[in-house]
Amino acid sequence: MIVSPLWRGKSYAVLGLARSGAASVRALLAGGARVVAWDSDAAKRDAIAPPLQGRGWGGAVLDANAAPAADIPTPNPSPEGEGLLTLADPLEIDLAGFDSLVVSPGVPLNRHPVAAKARAAGVPIIGDIELFAQARASLPPHKVVGITGTNGKSTTTALVHHILQTAGIPSLMGGNIGLPILEQDPLPASGVYVLELSSYQIDLTHSLDCDVAVLLNLTPDHLDRYDGFEGYAASKARLFAMQSATHAAVIGIGDTPSALIARGLSARGEHLTKIAPGVCMDQSRWPSLQGPHNAQNALAAIAACQALGVPEAMIDRGLESFAGLPHRMERVAVRNGVAFVNDSKATNPESTAPALAAFSRVHWILGGKAKADDLDACAPSFGHVVKAYTIGEAAQRFAAILDGKVPVEVSGDLATAVAHAAAAAQPGDTVLLSPACASFDQFRDFEDRGDQFRVAVEALA
CA 388/CA 391 separation, integer angstroms: 10
How far apart are the two ends of the chain, measured CA to CA in Å? 48
How far is CA 233 from each of CA 93, 209, 324, rounded to the nearest angstrom? 34, 19, 27
To the query of whether residue 153 is one of the catalytic residues in this protein, the response is yes
CA 369/CA 441 separation, integer angstroms: 6
Instruction: Give 253-302 as a DSSP string.
Output: -SSHHHHHHHHHTGGGGGGEEEE-TT-----TT-TT--SHHHHHHHHHHH
CA 275/CA 273 separation, integer angstroms: 7
CA 419/CA 417 separation, integer angstroms: 6
What b/e string do you get for 100-123 counting C-beta neighbours within 10 Å, with b at 16 or more?
Answer: bbbbbbebebeebebbebbeeeeb
Active site residue: 151, 176, 294, 297, which one? Answer: 176
Active site residue: 142, 153, 161, 293, which one? Answer: 153
Beta bridge partners of 214: 147, 250
Let me know the angle formed at the C-alpha of 460 by 454 and 461, rounded to the nearest 5 degrees: 155
Contact in structure between 252 and 272 (CB atoms under 8 Å): no
Per DSSP bridges, beta strands 11-15 and 34-38 are parallel
Mapped onto helix, strand or coil, the DSSP state of residue 344 is: coil
CA 397/CA 317 separation, integer angstroms: 45
CA 410/CA 306 separation, integer angstroms: 47
**Residues 6 or more apart in contact with residue 50 via CB below 8 angstroms:** 68
To the query of whether residue 222 is one of the catalytic residues in this protein, the response is yes
Sheet holding 191-196, edge to edge: 171-175, 191-196, 142-148, 212-215, 248-252, 272-275
Instruction: Give 394-442 as a DSSP string.
Output: THHHHHHHHTTTS-EEEEESHHHHHHHHHHH--TT-EEEE--SEESTTT
Point out the residues that are catalytic: 153, 176, 222
